[in-house]
């Protein structure tokens, strides 16, 4: 008789972690944006740590770093396609906690900004970091999650062994 190895409970994609993290990012993103919009008028800012860190009510009608401004509808359609690709990739990927977390961050960030584009026609950005006139692009929780996810994907590309769970 041929013995069939038992399938580990963790061998498939980690859907609860993936979707839970994405939902957490979407909730944090939308709650912080709602809080900020309720307190600052568009263009208004308030210092948090002097000139180094400010909260500013920004409206980004473009994509990454403000590129393609005024094309929220097209960016929304592209975002829906990207979201589908993220979910499909997670479904087919070799099980890995690091990849699951990375893709969960990416999914949550994409959905958070998509909700703004669909509801408002722009994305609310509010974190402004820099010194004097030397400023980074204003961003939000969704953008930060996407940035960390992209960093995670680079790490996994350079060090693929980090994407293999022990015993998987």
Positions marked catalytic: 125, 143
What is the length of the chain?
168
List residues bridging with 135 in a β-sheet. Answer: 130
- Order of strands, sheet of 123-131, starting from the edge strand that comes earlier in the sequence: 45-49, 53-60, 123-131, 134-135
* Residue in this structure with the two tokens 């990012």, named with its chain if needed: 25
Instruction: Let me know: does 19 contact 6? Beta carbons within 8 Å.
Output: no
Angle at 119 between CA 113 and CA 124, to 5 degrees: 45
């Amino acid at each position: 008789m041929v013995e069939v190895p038992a399938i580990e409970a963790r061998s498939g994609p980690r859907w609860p972690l993936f979707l839970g993290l994405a939902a957490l990012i979407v909730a944090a993103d939308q709650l912080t944006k709602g809080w900020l919009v309720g307190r600052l008028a568009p263009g208004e800012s308030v210092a948090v740590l002097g000139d180094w860190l400010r909260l500013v009510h920004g409206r980004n009608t473009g994509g990454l770093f403000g590129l393609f401004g005024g094309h929220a509808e097209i960016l929304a359609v592209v975002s829906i396609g990207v979201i589908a690709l993220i979910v499909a990739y997670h479904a087919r990927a070799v099980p890995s906690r690091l990849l699951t977390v990375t893709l969960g961050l990416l999914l949550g960030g994409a959905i958070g900004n998509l909700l703004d584009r669909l509801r408002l026609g722009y994305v609310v950005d509010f974190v402004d970091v820099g010194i004097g006139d030397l400023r980074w692009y204003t961003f939000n929780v969704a953008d930060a999650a996407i940035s960390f996810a992209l960093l995670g994907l680079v790490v996994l590309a350079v060090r693929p062994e980090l994407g293999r769970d022990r015993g998987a």
